[in-house]
Every structure is written in structure tokens, then in C-alpha cells.
Structure 1
């Protein structure tokens, strides 16, 4: 890459800004960020909602003059190599990077939208952006009735945060247990007990089929402006609600890439050099699909940004996938210390796998790992996590653990 090659990055999140920082000084970089907010770390949004952090604590390091906030890319002209923006600008590029992230999944609930409409009822919120977080923060107060739909990582984080603010929280999870994609049954049960102790009412194997609404006092037209009043379950039971949080997962943002004629499957398809089907266009982060995998996590996004920086600066760099570890910290009731959880790899064993489990009720720790051919392939660590670094290194290095007991006890992390 020549020193002043023009690089346009669409997306001002973690991945896009990491790439811009790595390329600083070696290229003419422009980052387009849709949101007006100072760029922030989405991982910390639950802490902002819980009132533990002010919004500015979640801010990412200053992006510098290359970031254009509040500007949305509307079209990519591959023939002329230009990005057209909603403010009328047309930015020429030598290399284009799509770091467009993902959108929240809005489930097909009856009453969510009016016919021909796309406006959510008052009191219904996704939980993906700083605007979502601030709107929820403004709406929540002690005693408010909140229904969280979705028991994955996002739903658990939202439920805990709302409970910390004094809301009466009901969490509805369609699967048989919380965080079923990451946790085994034992760890999920402990998480269930922890949230219950915080006052969260949990319904598993429970599908929400619709929302009930009522016109607001500020109705502006004949149809009225609606406010949510409840959530209807598939069995006919109705949960009263002042707030409903949609935490049903995310979907890669691929519309810009599709309109430009790039190959899209689950995400924007990229090769080991993070190139799309157009070699002048790359994709990283939540929107990218590599080897059939869309990660949707901060760790892989940062790793992809670092690899792409190497590719664009002429290094012999290639992306081979990320072995991602998910970590969650929940503050316990009464200030008795954090409830730490980490999970990685395959937590559900296959036939023939070995499972090793340690549980200590007194210390509130739970550790289980799955071994295949004497190699760690996945596991869950819950409670005191001094060992997580050593376990992760053994897993990432595809090594046979020399002393598994030592590795999984507290001393193993030192």
C-alpha cells in the first residue's frame, strides 16, 4: 500500500476505529460513523444502563479528524470507486472497508408494528446502541414493570441492569435455559439462581407471541400514538409491562454490500485477507463472514482489524479465524462481590468426549471443561476467575494440559 492511499472505512465502531488507528500516518483514512455520539464500547452499555458508569466512561479513545460523525453511507459505486453519503458527499477510495456492524433482530410479534408502519410503540426498546441505552435509562425507575424478551448474553445483561435500577423484571426465554449457546446446564442453572436472587422473574421454554398496546394521551392522528401495556405469551398468559426490551440477537448489516453486488450469505463473505468478492473492498467485524462464521463479538472484530491493517501495509498477514472467549461480570446483590463467568469453545460434549467438572458451593465456583483426544475444546468457568488466563492459553494453543486439576484451581492462574 502506498503511503497516501485513500482508505474509506464505513463504520465508526470498535473495528473501524481500531483499523483507522493502526493505519494512522500511513494512509489517508476517512471513517464514516452514522451515530452522532462519540464512539463508544458497546460491551459497556449494560453498565451504563445499570447506572454504574456514566456514558462518557464507555467512550473509545479519540478517533481524530479522520472520523466523520453523523454521516451515513447510502451507496457504493464500485465502478467509480466512490462512496455516496446522505449529506451529499461522494468520497473516492482506493480501498474500501465495510465495518457496518449489525442490527438488532426484531421478532415477528403481533402488535409490534402497525400495518404499513415501522415505528415501535412507546416503551418498546431494542438494546444495541447508546441511543437505546439512554432511552431505556430515561424510562426506567423503581417499580416499573419491564419484560425482557431473550435470555442470551444481551438479555441477561439487560435484565440485570434493569433490576439494578429497581425495575420489576420478567425475562422470557424461548429456549430451555439461559445462554444456552454458551453455557452447559449446570452453569446456566447457577446463572438462573443468581438472577432470581436479584429479583428477576425468569420464564424458560416460553415464547412471546405478541404485545398489547393502548393509545397515548398525546395521540397525534386518527390511529393514535401507541404505548405498550403488556406481552402475550404463546400459552395465552399476559404479562403487564411498562417497558419491553427486545434482546433477541443481532443480524449482520449487509444491505450496502448487497446493493453493491458483493457476495453475501449470513454476512459479507471475506477470504483470509478479509477481501470481499471485490478485491478493493474488505469487511471486518460483526458484518463479516469468514469461513462460514460470523462472530458478533469484540475480540474477533479487533483481531480482524489488526490483520487487515497488516494486509493493507504490505505485511504477510492472514486471518485464520478467532477462538473467541465470552466473559460476563454481574454485580451481586448487597455488594457481596461480582459474579464472573467465562465460556469458550464447545461447551456441549460429543459422544466420546471427556468432561471434567469442579464445583465449590462455599466459594460459589463452578468449572467444567470438555476434552477431546486430550485437548481442551471448550468449557465454562464461573465464580472466581484467576485461572481463566491459563485455561484460555491452553485452549488457544491446542495443548494437552499437563495438570488439569492445577489448571482449574486458583493456583493454576498464577
Structure 2
């Protein structure tokens, strides 16, 4: 077998191994070195890990089993110290490995500005999982502030992730607008405005002078104009440089990167290079698509096939913190060029096409990028656009008349048109997979990886499926609950009610489940549906709950727990505060934090201390705050008429009554309420699942707000005159949500599906409202108990810290 040594387990070298080992499983003996203590993961998805949208485990490309199945010898966490080209041996820290062929996939190094203070603790780059974890750890510190140097894609993703973690974040950028290499000034302005709306401070035309430190740790960034920006974390995201050190030390030809020819071969015929470390015809590479092209060419070269790497024009389709961006070609100003610009401020849409002669040479889009691939193809093909100039800005659907089939543009895309930028997948790869039997989006992801990363190309992939399969393709309207069945959440819930299925066993049997007892994905959903629909007949199954709900506390990344006592409407008293302080002292709680929901969080509680801590807090009259649950979390209030001169109603009193009525109820997802005593809205009621604004004439009840990954203002449900009506309407809405929503859908997503008018009709129907309230109170009478007291009495002697953690990955 031919011995191949690979240095670097990045995305490019990982793709080489996929081509080699999946297509030629018995031909190569592979040893893989990686300085990181892990294998290949999708670095593009580090931003969602930072923001909390995904876990590291979800972005792993090749796990231990993948390498084991392919007999790859993994030398992870081990650096290569030397390459002996004469002896054809790679010397790692733990010993030598001979090779027949060597692949360098050493990637790139982040550029650190060598200004004074750059070596202080707390100054980091944003390049790998270690950097990401350091940022997450710092963000967990109360009151932590961050400064990000660099207004490019990576810097903005870092800033957005840290902001979502609760940090105060400032972005410092040398240029006059953000992402100046990809966006023109107008699109850069829209992006800046969107980020500022999310609470991120942007400093443009700002030159960094010095990093200030205290006791060896960063404390501020000093700008050239004397402005000082305090920070506990400073992230440099100002660019990358090819990591050529090993190649240069081995005597290979090196310029900006390690020189390679069209077959990815270096100046040594037995050494190849791929990815961000290479230089090809004077160009270096940072986007994924060309790296995957290189990987395919290298794999073909190593197996004796004829292949040639050709640099291609590249479009940039990016997603920064929920903002869709697209740019392609050259959009620089010139007297020989003219622009076509479309603006829709109400939708936040901006499109600019740059035309030179009768050719489209550049495109910049913000907010609506659906036609980006079509414009990019026009640029690449140098297609004459004179005949469609009047309608060009409106996209392919308007060419040949406004009744043209929108799918015609997808059908017209050539085979080499890129569909998935994250994985470098072109149209022909997808159509080949379809020809080989892939007939839905899941099969396309499994066989080609298209739409398997950021997901922004999913709609385009589905259109390719629709064009290729014709009537044989059915656009999915709802995803199955999991792999155990073919039914959607909506179908399962409807059948549970209509067929009166009142146990999990009945669901598995009657609905044709493929697995006998379900899985970690479907069991929590089915348990909830049965619990909500049949409160008298169904007994809650604790083992079908996520680990947090089984342990009645939030598990943290280090295996400790977070405990949050309930404070009704944000009101507490000295006795409760003493009990919390005593518990923090007694159980050596390292962090005590005031939460955004007006409560106190005890962080870092050891699992073995939970039962005793719960018992102590119960004795003081404190019950669970359900900070871990799919249920009522908080009711945030202002002081209302009791103390505030602007208050119109007793918002605190109403908030307490609502929390006491709703606490302990299981819901499809977490539920948060806010009650503000006047339109000044100090309780931030307009971004909650239910928000009530007190006014002179009564109460304005609004629903379906959000303030997490999505930011959405509530929509007015109704106005009522009395506190009792406000209570009834809120309880009825929560029960309607309980009875009809898909499990793990927040209220705003559910309302968007069923329509606010449908909700209003049912709440306005007094008979239906009374039924909903009665159903909610029935469920509460059966299931509302303090889980801390229940857990202490039933399980205190049976606690096993490592038991039943199998569902945590699905949390």
C-alpha cells in the first residue's frame, strides 16, 4: 500500500481524504498529523458555535469512527517538527513516519497587528475551536466587554456571536465602511445599521494605536485619536497569512504561499500542498470553493487521473448575523460604467448592478440575494444584457415577460454553476446525485454535502431537484419529526388527538414508528404532546425529557449546573436573599449572577450538591424558576403605579399574578412575559412571547415577540379594560399555544404559521376562551408541583451525576 502522510486536518485536506479513501479504500495507508487535539471540523460553522446556535459536536466533519473505519492513523495534538525530504520521513514530536507521498495542509495563520500590548492575556485571534472557547468563557463573565479589530466577515461574525452571548461589543475598522472588499458603501451602510440595531457599536475610519493592559491582562484599546475603548477581550480579525513555515524549512519553493502547479504539486515531486497554505499562479486562497476544487484535483492526481486546477471567478454569498449579502465581480466606480440600483427601505433590500458596455461586470445585493447565482452566471459568461436591461434588476423571473417560470433560470444554469458555496458544490454534482437516486434534500445533503453547512442554499438545491425530477419531486411542506417516522410534527399531533392515542407505546404502534421506543429526538416531543393533550390519562415520562428537565437545573459545559430560584414578577425580600446567599456560601458557588429576567442565577453548582441545595431553598419558601424548562421562564415587570410617577396600572401586581397562574406549565418551548406600567416600556414587553403594556384605559396585550437569534416586535392581540381580562386573555393564549404548536417552536414561529387572525378569532370567542382557561387550569391542577421538592423527596438518595445524559446533544 502507498504510504501517504498528511500534515493538517483541515477542510481542504479532509476533502482530499474523502476522495481518496471513499473511492479507493484499500490503496493507501494514511497517517494524519494535526496540531489541534482533534480531527476535521467545519471551521465555517465556528460562528454558530460562538453564538450558541450549534455545538462543536454538530460541526464535526470526520469523527473518530470515520478515521477508524478507514484505518487512518491519527496523530492529533502532535506537531510536526521537521520534514526530511532526502529520507522521505516526517518527524513528529512523538517520532518519525516514512512517506511515499506527503500532503501539506497547514492552512493559514491569523495576522496579529504588532502594536504595543499585542501579547497581553485576553488578546486573541479568531481562527479555531480554542479561540472560540476562550471567547465563550470570557462572555460568561458578568459585565464582560469586547473589542473586535476588523470589520470584515470574520470580525463581524465574532462581534455578533459575542453580542448574542450578552457581551458589550465594539467593532473597530480602519476603512470607511464594513466589508469594503465585498460590499459597496451603500450596502456597507445597511449592514452597519443592522448591526447597530443589534446593540453592536461600530467605529469606522478608526486606527488602533496601542493595547492597554493591567496586571498582564488587556484592559482597553487606545485609538490614534486618543479614544480609549475598555475591554476584557480583544479579538483581532484583520486577515490571514498562508502557513508556510514547514515548507520553507524543508526547502520547498515558497512565496506568499507554498508554490504549487496545476496538479497541486510543490517543487518536490513527492510533496503536494492544498488549501490556504498554497500559492498558485500568484494567488492565495481563503474561500472554501477553490479549496475543495484543489482537493479534488489532488485526489485525482494521486490516483493517476488527469486533472488540472483552474482558478475560477468567485461570488461571495455571505450571512452575517441574519443579514443576507451577496457580491460578485467588480463593483468599483468608473466613468465607463453605469449602475442600476434598486432600494426598498421598508424591506431592507438593496441591489446594485454594475454594467460596462452591454455586459454585467459586478453585482452587490443586501437583504434579498435569491437571484445572486443568476447574476453571477451572467458575469462569468459575459452574457450580453442589452435586451433585458430594463428588467435586469428584477431577476430571471422577469426575463421574457413577467409571467415567466421562475424555475427557468435554475434550468438555464450551466453544469458548472456553483450552488453551495460552503462546500464548493456545482449544479452537475447535484444532478449526478439525482441521477443516482437522490430524490430529496436529505439525500442530496448526504451524498454531496450541498446545503449541509450554513443552509442558505437549501432553496436553490430544492429548485434544482424540482427542475431535474419534474412532477416526481414533491416540495416538502414539513420535515418528519425524526428518522423514526415519515410524519411531521403537525401530523403526529393531529393523529394523537383524532385516534385518541394516550401512551407512547400507542404512538409507536399505531403510527408506524420504525424504532420500537423512539429516539432522543422524538421522545421528548411525543411526551409533551401526550402530556398536553391528555392530562388526565397520560403520566409524564421523566426519561423522555432533556437532561436539564430531568435534573431540574441547567447543565453547563463543564458538567456543573445552574440553579435559578423563582422570584415572582422580579420581586424578592430579605429572607429569600439570605437563603440564596447562604446556599451560595454553603455549596461554594463560584458565580452568582443577576439574570436578564430579574432573577438570581447560581452558576457552577456540583451535581452531587443539587438535592441538598434544593432542600435548603425550599425551606426558605423558594421554588424552581424553571430556567431549564420548556415552560414559563420569567414575567418581567417594572414598578408600575406603586413607585413610578409615569405608571398607569399596577404592572408589578399583574406580573406576579400572571407568574403565579402560569408557572409550572409545560409548553412547546420556553415562554417569557413582560408587563410594563406605561408605554415607556421599561419591562421590554414588546419583545416577549406575551407582552402587556399598561395604559390609562386598561391593558394592551401583544404576542409573538422575540429577542434572541431572531429579533421581532410583538403583534397586538387585543385591548382589554380590566386586569382580570388581561389575565384571561394571556392564559387562553398560552393554552392555545400549548394545544396547537409544534414542539420546540417558539410562540412567534407558531403564530407565523397559523396566522394572527386565527389566534385572535379564538381568543375573542368567549366560549372558546373559557374552554382554553378551563383546560389550562385542569392541566395545572395535575402537573404543577415544585420539581425541586418532588425531586428531593423521591430521588435524593439515588442521584448519579453521570446518569441519563444521552439526550443532551438534542437540547
Which string of whole-angstrom CA distances, capped at 9 and with x for unpartnered residues, describes residues 208-245 of structure 1?
A: 11111111xxxxxxxxxx11111111112211111111
* Structure richer in helix, relative to its length: 2
**2: CA distance, partners of 1:297 / 1:290:** 14
Superposition map of 1:24-103 within 5 A: 24=21, 25=25, 26-62=27-63, 63-65=66-68, 66=72, 67-88=74-95, 90-103=96-109
Native 8 Å contact 1:174 1:207 kept in 2: yes
Q: C-alpha root-mean-square deviation of aligned residues, in Å?
A: 2.0
SS in 1 for 2:246: helix
**Residues 165-200 of structure 1: CA deviation (Å, up to 9, x unaligned):** 221111111112111111111111111111111111
- How far off its partner does 1:327 sit? 2.5
Alignment of 1:14 onto 2:11: yes
Q: Structure 1 residue 405: deviation in Å?
A: 6.1
The residue aligned with 1:129 is 128
Give the deviation of 1:35 after TM superposition: 0.9
Mapped partners of 1:277, 1:38: distance in 2 = 28
> Paired residue for 2:630?
none
Q: Tell me the TM-score normalized by structure 1.
A: 0.88
How big is each residue's C-alpha offset from its partner over 1:356-405, in whole Å with a ceiling of 9 and x where there is no partner? 32222222222223334534433222112221232233334443456356
Indicate if the aligned counterparts of 1:106 and 1:248 stay in contact, CA closer than 8 A: yes
Deviates more, 1:60-69 or 1:266-275: 60-69
Secondary structure of 2:16 counterpart: helix
CA distance in 2, matches of 1:287, 1:172: 28
Equivalent residues in 2 for 1:330-369, closer than 5 Å: 330-331=320-321, 338-369=322-353
Summarize deviations over 1:120-139 as a string: whole Å, max 9, x none: x3322211000100111111
Q: Please say if 1:233 is aligned against 2:202.
A: no
Match among 373, 389, 394 for residue 389 of structure 1: 373
Q: 1:77 to 1:203 in 2, by over 3 A?
A: same
Partner of 2:388 in structure 1? 403
Write the distance in 1 (CA, Å) between the matches of 2:287 and 2:203. Answer: 26
Q: Confirm or deny: 8 A CA contact 2:39 2:62 kept in the other structure.
A: no
Q: How does 1:298-313 map to 2 (within 5 A)?
A: 298-313=288-303
Structure 2 distance, partners of 1:314, 1:351, is: 50
Cα gap change, 1:325 to 1:44, in 2 (>3 Å):
same
Alignment map for 1:286-301 (pairs within 5 Å): 286-301=276-291
1:69–1:174 distance in 2 versus 1, CA, 3 Å? same
Paired with 1:408 and 1:325, the residues of 2 have a C-alpha distance of 17
1:354, 1:282 → 2: CA distance? 44
Q: In the alignment, is residue 207 of structure 1 matched against residue 207 of structure 2? A: yes
Alpha-carbon spacing, 1:202–1:387, altered in 2? closer, same or farther (3 Å): same
Please identify which structure carries the higher strand content: 1
The 10-residue stretch of structure 1 (369-378 or 127-136) with the greater mean CA deviation from structure 2? 369-378
Residues 176-325 of structure 1 aligned to structure 2 (within 5 Å): 176-215=176-215, 226-325=216-315
Q: In the alignment, is the contact (CA less than 8 A) between 1:182 and 1:343 conserved in 2?
A: yes
SS in 2 for 1:30: strand
On the 8 A contact 1:326/1:342 being kept in 2, the answer is yes
Consecutive unaligned residues in structure 1, runs of 5 or more: 114-120, 216-225, 332-337
Secondary structure of residue in 1 paired with 2:154 = helix
Pick from 2, 9, 16: which aligns with 1:5? 2
Structure 2: segments with no counterpart, 5+ residues: 398-405, 408-811
TM-score under structure 2 length normalisation: 0.46
Range with bigger deviation, 60-69 or 313-322: 60-69
Q: Which residue of 1 aligns with 2:732?
A: none
